[in-house]
Structure 1
Amino acid sequence: MSHETTSPDQPAHPAADTRRSTALVGVSASFTPDELECLVRTAADAVYGEPEDLSSRQLDMAARARVLMDLEMGADDGELPE
């Protein structure tokens, strides 16, 4: 029987350590941590909720992310929202 152990400097749950920093790449580098949090919640709400439950902020963030993804893929028919 085996079990996992964590050392004192390693949190039991990765989300428990908010001091870690990560180099953001690609589309994610265009967003602040707060905006990335919004996008993660938007993705979960979009998949498991109802579209009409999304806030205007969530819709704006999703639209901005979509334009950035399109630009990254070489399609520049969209205009980046501010």
Structure 2
Amino acid sequence: MKMIRSFNAATQSLMARLYTQMPTRSNRQRGASALEYIVLAAVIVIAVAAGAALLGGDTISDVFTKIQTALTSA
């Protein structure tokens, strides 16, 4: 739970900083840089991993085992 609060605080801090810098950055920059895409992809990966950890359920290997069984039985 402490990790989620820490992640939430970091996300809020990042969003506040981006919100305050957005008007000046948009005047100087036309497109997203590769670094921004990497940060966005990292946030998505972390969110998916956190969601999977919170929801529990099947592990990744169990999912692939089920797919393999379904393909071989078909």
**Under TM normalisation by the shorter chain, which class is it?**
0.3 to 0.5
If the length of structure 2 is used for normalisation, what is the TM-score?
0.35
If the length of structure 1 is used for normalisation, what is the TM-score?
0.33
- Radius of gyration: which is bigger? 2
Higher relative contact order (CA 8 A, sep 6+): 1
